[in-house]
Structure 1
Amino acid sequence: MFNRIGRVLAASALLTGSLLGGAHADDNKELNFGIISTESSQNLRAVWDPFLAAMSERTGMKINAFFAPDYAGIIQGMRFDKVDLAWYGNKSAMEAVDRAGGEIFAQTVASSGASGYYSLLVAHKDSPIGSVDDMLKNASNLTFANGDPNSTSGYLVPGYYVFAKNKVDANKIFKRSLNGSHEVNALSVANKQVDVGTFNNESMERLELTAPEKAAQLKVIWTSPLIPADPMVWRKNLPEATKADIREFFMTYGDKPGEMDVLADLQWAKFRASDDDQLLPIRQLELFKKRSEVANNAKLDESDKQAQLKELDAQLAALEQRMAELQQKPAAATAG
């Protein structure tokens, strides 16, 4: 993995900006920016290049774009200090925070102003499969395209709401199950290579722009509850001066003429400040999923099962307490 990261970084585009017009962090002359693989790197590069070029100009640092083939590549890159900051989904951000020394500093906002997005299950428009019930009843005859295991909308959210809550394992119930990026899954469904795939509404909007004829072949058979918008994560051990430059850029990008057009191409509005507490609902979801798996595991010794459930319940209680505390803060501030 480490060697592959090095090869990908070496091959990535290097966006060198002017040192004029931006504060300069002496400790970091350049930054490696990881971008999750929601679609082909060619499509991603086209919409990301103007943003990264502006970041280079404004911070006075060279920005190296790292388009990894999977989410794990970026997480591992951050773990080994080969990726300095990254755009993640919430699930992959959780892995980066817990295992790779990451820290959330900003959150994306949809161009519509929405505070989140939705996981989808899609089938071909001509398919007789029209609902989750249809899919589960016919699963043994279907091919299913699941998402990257570190994807929030492609894996974690449908894994809980569609499969864990129905007490089934997506890896076992289908004739065939495979994993791919959002774009790959959607195109596989559109081309009738698989029967059902995970997707999300933002990627659907993007596909309607990049391949409208393919998007027209899809129908949505399930939509999730709202998922918090994606976070931006930096390495916690970056120099404070570098963090300040990055934060300043993200919090002010969109103020100058033309910058909102660049954000619109990324399907975003201006960023908002955030922190690791953004992950609390995702952590809760992950624990609910684990609890369902343990509770339904007939192979576990009953005493082991009860011990694991007790531990998971304690973790869930701690999360719920923290979430309640955060909800009380705005009320207290308003009352003051």
Structure 2
Amino acid sequence: MMKKTLLAVSAAAMMMATAAKAEFKPLDKDPEVINFGIISTESTSNLKDQWIPLMQDMEKAIGMPVKPFFAPDYAGVIEAMRFGKVHVAWFGNKSGMEAVDRSGGEVFVQTSKADGSQGYYSHIITNVKNTNINKLEDIFKCDKSLNFGIGDPNSTSGFLVPSYYVFAQNGVDPKTCFKTVRSANHETNLMAVANDQVDVASNNSEQVGRSQLKAPEAAAKIKIIWTSPLIPSDPMVYRKDMSKELKSKIKAFFLGYGRLGDTAHATKVLHDISDGQGYFMESNNTQLYPIRQLALFKNKLKIEGSDALSSNDKMEQVKAIDSQLAELDILVKNQ
């Protein structure tokens, strides 16, 4: 039985490894400058204030230049890593999964909160003055009277999690339910709700917490009507084909940051990121397993509810997804 389990784990791991190396452009050598990618959860100016102090400290620690890379959407950072234009990046789990599968990425640490806790939540929010919307069911009248703000398609909390838990599990198609569906980053969606530009939007606990600190007047105008199960903390991803020596330097910097050296300075830098971060924690690609399962479950529900597929097509596609889910289940149990 153990032999079969190990074989199944090996087969599933090989399948993921094949997908991961199928598309990205290999590096010819280690970069002379580390380009550090930051996904667009909010405005670039805000992200620069948060992350550049950490990059400056990283530059001193590893002894080579570290330059920020910003893009207007998550895909821009994923694609930049794919073509070797980004070497290290902060991602959410969904975008991190894409970077691992398509861009030669590898998870090496993950974030935590200042109190040592890990994980965060997806939310559905509306304006506090909207007395007609107080719970999730209130947005499912689907008479195209509401404007909905959703996250970037590669966002875990802004798109994947609400797509599965809010819409797929309730058999609701946002495109036919709402008057408009617009995609934006977390900060923009929160401000749009606060300013009555959209009726409802997806968001997350980190952006809500950051807004309470940095934009309390706007934060006071929103109310949360739905909260997801806990989502794993954000992964930090680097190009797996950099040398072991360079990857070790980078990983050592992150794991030592706030623990070694000028801890007071590093703690302040971390405190100013998002809604207040703590130490970086050891991690690897296995933290993406729950996100892979979620994406597969979402696709399964979509296939099962499709009117465009024949019964045989549905059966074959669902069977393929069930096979992948079974392999992932083995991997999860054998972590």
TM-score by length of 1: 0.88
Any conservation in 2 of the 1:28–1:61 contact (CA below 8 Å)? no
Corresponding residue for residue 287 of structure 1: 296
Question: Tell me, which stretches of 5 or more residues in structure 1 are unaligned?
Answer: 1-25, 327-336
The answer to which of 27-36 and 73-82 deviates more is: 27-36
Alignment of 1:61-100 (within 5 A): 61-100=64-103
For 2:267, the equivalent position in structure 1 comes to: 260
Please report how far the alpha carbon of residue 138 of structure 1 lies from its aligned counterpart in structure 2 after TM superposition. Answer: 4.7
Q: Match for residue 333 of structure 2?
A: 324
Q: Is the aligned partner of 1:311 residue 2:315?
A: no
Q: CA deviation at 1:171?
A: 2.3
How far apart in 2 are the matches of 1:63 and 1:139? 50
Quick check: 1:54 aligned with 2:57? Answer: yes
Match of 1:203? Answer: 207
Pairs within 5 Å for 1:26-175: 27-127=30-130, 128-138=132-142, 140-175=144-179
Q: Deviations over 1:124-146 (max 9, x none)?
A: 00112111100112552100000
Tell me the TM-score normalised to structure 2 length.
Answer: 0.88
Superposed CA RMSD: 1.1
Distance apart, 1:28 and its partner CA: 3.4
Shift of 1:98: 0.6
Deviations along 1:254-310, whole A, 9 cap, x unmatched?
023321111111121111111111100000000000000001112211100000011
In 2, Cα distance between the equivalents of 1:96 and 1:211? 32
Q: Determine the C-alpha separation between the residues in 2 that align with 1:112 and 1:39.
A: 24
8 Å CA contact 1:108–1:268 kept in 2: the answer is yes
> Displacement, 1:239?
1.8
SS in 1 for 2:140: helix
Q: CA deviation at 1:169?
A: 1.5
The separation in 2 between residues aligned to 1:223 and 1:213, in whole angstroms, is: 22
Counterpart residue type for residue 289 of structure 2: L
Equivalent residue letter for 1:35? I
Q: 1:309-328, CA deviations, whole angstroms, 9 ceiling, x for partnerless residues?
A: 110111111111111112xx
Structure 1 vs Structure 2: percent identity of aligned residues?
48
| Structure 1 position 225 matched with structure 2 position 232 | no
Alignment partners' CA distance in 2, 1:313 and 1:301: 18
Deviations 1:42-85 (A, max 9, x none): 11111212111100011111111012110000000000000001
Q: Determine the structure 2 residue equivalent to 1:274.
A: 283
- Residue type of the partner of 2:299? K
- Relative to 1, partners in 2 of residues 1:149 and 1:284: Cα closer, same or farther, differing over 3 Å? same
For structure 2, the 5+ residue unaligned runs are 1-28
Opposite residue 304 of structure 2, the aligned amino acid is: A
Matched residue, 1:190: 194
Q: Which residue of 2 aligns with 1:329?
A: none
The correspondence for 1:215, drawn from 214, 219, 226, is 219
